[in-house]
């Protein structure tokens, strides 16, 4: 499983063929984080109901439920280890926690942030991760040590940060205006490049992420637009729109994802649909109706299977019905 490679290119026919294969209704409140394991065979969600739910992708069903009533859970993310996840806390303090899914046991705590952690990202090749907090810092951690080994101040505002696909660069969005690129080998130094996006009147940024090929940075916003930026030049390549991220009259943070070939962007919506955009043309390719009954906040593509997941208070597994050169998941209703 670990050596499986994503398809070189997913055709439009394959993308349009995605259908909901399995629906999970195991949470009583909104899902506030989700991720696939590095091998693609395990799926985990965190929820406002203060639980982590673990699913087996090959044999779909609940594998385990972990309650965290004392600390709360959010932004759950796998490390490079198929059995280890990190998550933020919603109660008591802002400590990040490392949990073994195999033993249902916390292995390590990562204290230090003084305000909520809103971003967690795993290094693509090392046992490291980053966290971005409303305390004005992005911190760098080794999974084997409780103290952060690096800290990058960025100032006021909601932080956005991400590793590049090779794990050499950290991108930090600042002031919804610029992206500062830091060399991971020279933390403490000034950014080696600052991308001036020049996005006029952009709504506040809510997240940034690199495309799998490293050519683009996807900027999600608190408005109903999402910007695709050239990761070398900083210019806006496309602005994706036509989805809804307003809920009860307020902005609703939506976390989109790339397909493994970096050719498509999958975007949830508060209208319970998934919108798919073509990165090459900038056009909307299709819109999927779903089994969701609420706003879809997260979408995530599986690193091994030709499938993706979407979440609201429930989770849906989607599989392609047209072959794509990648194994189909066993998840079927």
pLDDT band per the 50, 70, 90 thresholds, residue 63: confident
The answer to whether residue 3 scores a pLDDT higher than 60 is no
More confident residue, 146 or 3: 146
Residue 264 included in any domain:
no
pLDDT band of 1, cuts 50, 70, 90: very low
Distance, in Å, from the CA atom of 312 to the CA atom of 57, rounded to the nearest integer, reads 18
Average pLDDT over residues 68-86: 94
Mean pLDDT over all residues of the chain? 91
What global pTM score does this model have? Answer: 0.92
pLDDT band at 92 (very low <50, low <70, confident <90, very high): confident
Residue 280 is assigned to a structural domain of this protein: no
Number of structural domains (the chain) is 1
Residue 179 placed within a domain: yes
Section 78-99 average pLDDT: 95
Determine, yes or no, domain membership for 301: no
Using DSSP's 3-state secondary structure scheme, residue 221 falls into: strand
| 4/17 Cα distance (integer angstroms) | 22
pLDDT given for residue 223 in this prediction: 86
The proportion of the chain whose per-residue pLDDT surpasses 70, expressed as a percent, equals 94
pLDDT of 140 higher than 60:
yes
* Distance in angstroms (rounded) separating the CA atoms of residues 181 and 197: 13
Closest CA to 101 of 149, 162, 163, 35: 35
How many other C-beta atoms are found inside a 10 Å radius of the C-beta of residue 75?
A: 23
| pLDDT band, very low/low/confident/very high, at 57 (cuts 50, 70, 90) | very high
Task: Kindly report, residue by residue over 12-40, the tens digit of the pLDDT.
Answer: 999 999 999 999 999 999 999 999 999 99
pLDDT at 327 over 70: no
Residue 314 maps to a domain: no
CATH number where 233 lies: 2.130.10.10
Q: Which among 101-105, 196-200, 209-213 has the top mean pLDDT?
A: 209-213
Domain annotation covers residue 235:
yes
DSSP assigned state of 187: B
DSSP 8-state code for residue 147 = S
The two structure tokens encoding residue 78: 């796998």
For residues 186-210, average pLDDT: 90
Higher pLDDT residue, 323 or 207? 207
pLDDT of residue 265: 98
In a domain, 94, yes or no: yes
CB 301 within 8 A of CB 279: no
Q: Which domain holds residue 161?
A: 34-256
Q: Would residue 325 count as lying in a domain?
A: no
pLDDT confidence of residue 244: 86
* pLDDT exceeds cutoff 90 at 247: no
Sequential DSSP letters for 47-99: ETTSEEEEEESSS-SEEEEEE-TTT--EEEEE-SSTTEEEEE-SSS---EEEE
Q: For 286-311, what is each residue's pLDDT tens digit? A: 999 999 999 999 999 999 889 999 99
Containing H/E element for 122?
strand 117-122
């Amino acid at each position: 499983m670990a050596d499986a490679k994503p398809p070189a290119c997913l055709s439009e026919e394959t993308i349009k063929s995605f259908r909901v294969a399995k629906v999970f209704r195991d949470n009583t409140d909104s899902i506030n984080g989700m991720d696939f394991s590095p091998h693609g065979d395990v799926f985990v969600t965190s929820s406002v109901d203060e639980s982590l739910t673990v699913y087996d992708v090959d044999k779909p069903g609940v594998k385990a439920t972990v309650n965290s009533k004392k600390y709360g859970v959010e932004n759950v993310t796998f490390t490079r280890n198929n059995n280890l996840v990190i998550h933020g806390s919603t109660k008591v303090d802002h400590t990040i926690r490392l949990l073994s899914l195999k033993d249902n046991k916390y292995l390590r705590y990562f204290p230090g942030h003084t305000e909520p952690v809103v971003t967690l990202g795993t290094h693509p090749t090392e046992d490291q991760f980053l966290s971005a907090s409303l305390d004005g810092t992005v911190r760098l951690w080794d999974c084997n040590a409780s103290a952060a080994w690096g800290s990058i101040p960025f100032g006021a505002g909601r932080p956005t940060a991400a590793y590049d696909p090779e794990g050499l660069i950290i991108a930090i969005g600042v002031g919804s205006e610029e992206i500062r690129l830091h060399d991971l080998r020279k933390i403490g130094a000034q950014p080696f490049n600052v991308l001036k996006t020049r996005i006029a009147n952009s709504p506040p940024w809510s997240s940034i992420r690199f495309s799998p090929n490293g050519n683009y940075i996807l900027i999600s916003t608190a408005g109903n637009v999402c910007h695709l930026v050239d990761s070398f030049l900083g210019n806006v390549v496309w602005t994706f729109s036509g989805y809804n991220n307003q809920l009860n009259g307020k902005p609703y943070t939506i976390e989109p994802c790339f397909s493994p070939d970096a050719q498509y962007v999958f975007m949830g919506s508060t209208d319970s649909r998934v919108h798919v955009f073509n990165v090459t043309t900038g056009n909307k390719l299709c819109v999927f109706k779903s089994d969701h009954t609420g706003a879809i906040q997260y979408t995530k593509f599986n690193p091994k299977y030709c499938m993706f997941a979407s979440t609201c208070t429930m989770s849906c597994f989607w599989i392609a019905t047209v072959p794509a050169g990648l194994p189909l998941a066993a998840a079927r209703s």
